[in-house]
Amino acid sequence: MNIEQILKDNNVLKTGHFLLSSGLHSAKYFEKFRILENPLLVQMFGKMIAEYFKDKNISIVCGPTTGGVIIAYEVARQMGLKCIFAEQKPDTAGRVIRRGFVIPEGANILVVDDVLTTGGSIKDTMQALKQFPGQVKGIAVLIDRSIELTDFNQYVQDVDFNSCYRVAVENYEPDQCPLCRQNIPLEKPGRGGKK
């Protein structure tokens, strides 16, 4: 299965000059909502993750809002497990597990997200999970676009990481962006088009 071609055919992988939510610029952008709007794609990627973790003794799947929840739910559905989610804290940084979610003692948790760039939402989710007696045993993402492989073991020991698709994508500070110097129009995906 050619995942990159699937991403291109479904307008997920775009090339150009993009402003990322981090404020950085990039020549590649992954429009995750083209996956999230398509139940067949969500099911396909969910199956890839569920298959990878099927023998890893996972008991609960957790995803960060917004996109991670949809993927986490599908993975949990395919694995026959409960799904919970980590929301952004109101008016502060970080995430929190609310809404009466319970994680029992000894539960093995799989954290699932959509696109990994810096790992911030996954790290925040793992931090939020520390209030419970369970243990994060796995992390999965649809797309890993990070330059360097993120070492989640510095946050949780012996964690198993998996991605459905990996490509290292260079990001640039706006004042050092070669795309800006070439006068390539800056697009702001999800925020109303070009600058």
Domains and CATH numbers, the chain: 3-194 (3.40.50.2020)
Which tens digit of pLDDT belongs to each residue from 49-71? Answer: 999 999 999 999 999 998 899 99
Both tokens assigned to 108: 């093995």
pTM for this prediction? 0.89
Q: How confident is the model at residue 22 (pLDDT cuts 50, 70, 90)?
A: confident
- pLDDT of 1: 79
Instruction: Give exposure, 137-175, as e/b (b: 16+ Cβ within 10 Å).
Output: bbbbbbbbbbeeebebeebbeebebbbbbeeebebbeee
Q: Please state, for a pLDDT cut of 90, what percent of the chain lies above it.
A: 73
Q: How confident is the model at residue 83 (pLDDT cuts 50, 70, 90)?
A: very high
Rounded Cα gap, residues 64 and 101, in angstroms = 14
Which tens digit of pLDDT belongs to each residue from 129-171? Answer: 999 999 999 999 999 998 876 767 666 677 899 999 999 999 9
As a whole number, mean pLDDT of residues 12-28 equals: 92
Q: How confident is the model at residue 36 (pLDDT cuts 50, 70, 90)?
A: very high
Both tokens assigned to 96: 């929190």
- pLDDT of 153: 64
Residue with token string 């969500």: 42
Phi, psi of 127, deg, nearest 5 = -65, -45
- 3-class secondary-structure state, position 176: helix
As a whole number, mean pLDDT of residues 75-103 equals: 92
Q: 81 or 152: which carries more pLDDT confidence?
A: 81
As a whole number, mean pLDDT of residues 15-37 equals: 92
- pLDDT of 23: 87
Contacts of 61 (CB under 8 A, 6+ apart): 72, 73, 75, 76, 79, 81, 82, 83, 84, 109, 110, 111, 112
